[in-house]
Amino acid sequence: MNLAIRDIRYNRGRFILTSIGLGLLLGVVISMGGIYRGLFADALAVLNFTKADIWVVQQDTNGPFAENSRIPEDIKYRIRAVPGVEEASPLSFQTIQIERLGKPFRFFLIGYDLNGFGGPPGIIAGRDIRQKHYEMVVAKAMKMEVGEKIHLGLHDYTVVGITGKVVSSGGDPAAYVSLADAQDIQFKKDNDAIRNDRERIGANLAGIQTLSPAQTKFLQQNITGITESTHTVNTVVARLAPGANLHEVQERISRWNHFRPLSVEEQTKILTKGMIEKARMQLGLFRIILLVISAVIISLIIYTSTIDKIKVIATLKLIGSQNRVIIGMILQQSLLMGIIAYGIGYLLIKLTYDKFPRRIVLEAFDLQALFVIVIAICTISSFVGIRKALKVEPAEALGG
């Protein structure tokens, strides 16, 4: 006869309530692990979806995600010419926050070369961008419909397609436009600003006495040309030909000065170590604290339920029960409570995780590790009860 189960059956209300409470706690622990994995997945999303081997960024920066990086778009031609490089494609990234439907609307805008790569990883509704201008593909999380329009910079953009779970390293959903459009949105000034700039340059040049009017005019045209140019990108990504040596290609590009060729491995390190390390430690700390709280609660519950059973335990000893019967009763209850609470917590998160504002990634390893930890906690927590139970004298069954 299993005394643990019999006791639980008799006191099921209390047992169920405690298990639910513990379950909620473990649910939070599970979700925190999931949030951490989600941070990880989010941080690496664009990096992974782009499927590039090398990220060429501005020298001395950890761009384009961790730091600002600006390089001229036409460097792509030089990169394509490097032996071992199969493709090179420019990308532009910017975070945009506008007002939409009366609420702040934040997303990560990716500009890509329609003939290159780095565009939306997969279209789940609508189609890819086909025209060079004013078309947009958005991540599902932006909750926009195909055909909707949004005003960015100086123009309206129409959503033509929806893509999956692409997010910025900060977790903002991503949207794609053509590179030219992205550059326009990022750099193009409106007419007033252009007129202002031109006047300012003209005034400055006019102030230089040594220039002839013809020289002034020539300079003014060139300078405004440069300041109005938008042919800047944040990175040029490259894919290597099969069998090409990554280090050799990196070596060559570094020799040019002004550029830093980052491998995927280096980018991953920048993104994970630098950007989400603190969040990881914080979540880890919370998880430990919550597990300690769970351990304290389980110990307390097991201890009080042992105290409630002193007379039962004394009676069992009096009629000659072996210690294993009594230890088994307490340990099994503790384990059962842990297992049920774990199940409740797991179900809770399993059923709700896709409704969390940030991505939750449930990894089998994390879930198994937590299960083992819960079992360990239950075993250790039951020791306080078991210790108490073993000290009970059979004579205590006689009183009252």
Give contact residues for other proteins (rule: CB under 8 A).
Answer: 1, 3, 6-7, 9-11, 311-312, 315-322, 325, 393-395, 397-398, 400
With respect to other proteins, which residue has the nearer C-beta, 13 or 242? 13
Shortest distance, position 371 Cβ to other proteins, whole Å: 28
Instruction: Give 227's contacts (C-beta < 8 A, 6+ positions apart).
Output: 197, 201
With respect to other proteins, which residue has the nearer C-beta, 5 or 241? 5
Shortest distance, position 316 Cβ to other proteins, whole Å: 7
Shortest distance, position 399 Cβ to other proteins, whole Å: 9
Shortest distance, position 19 Cβ to other proteins, whole Å: 17
With respect to other proteins, which residue has the nearer C-beta, 10 or 356? 10
Asked whether 127 and 162 are in contact (CB, 8 A), the reply is no
Shortest distance, position 313 Cβ to other proteins, whole Å: 10
Instruction: Give 46's contacts (C-beta < 8 A, 6+ positions apart).
Output: 65, 93, 108, 110, 166, 167, 168, 169, 174
With respect to other proteins, which residue has the nearer C-beta, 287 or 317? 317
Instruction: Look at strands 103-112 and 174-178 and give their pairing.
Output: parallel
With respect to other proteins, which residue has the nearer C-beta, 205 or 318? 318
β strands within 12-114, DSSP E: 54-58, 71-72, 85-100, 103-112
The length of the chain in residues reads: 400
Q: Rounded to the nearest 10 degrees, what angle do helices 12-50 and 277-308 cross at?
A: 170
With respect to other proteins, which residue has the nearer C-beta, 242 or 400? 400
d(CA 260, CA 251): 10
- CA-based angle 34:39:45, to the nearest 5? 120
With respect to other proteins, which residue has the nearer C-beta, 223 or 325? 325
d(CA 176, CA 94): 11
Shortest distance, position 314 Cβ to other proteins, whole Å: 9
Instruction: Give 248's contacts (C-beta < 8 A, 6+ positions apart).
Output: 84
SS3 assignment, position 122: coil
Shortest distance, position 323 Cβ to other proteins, whole Å: 8
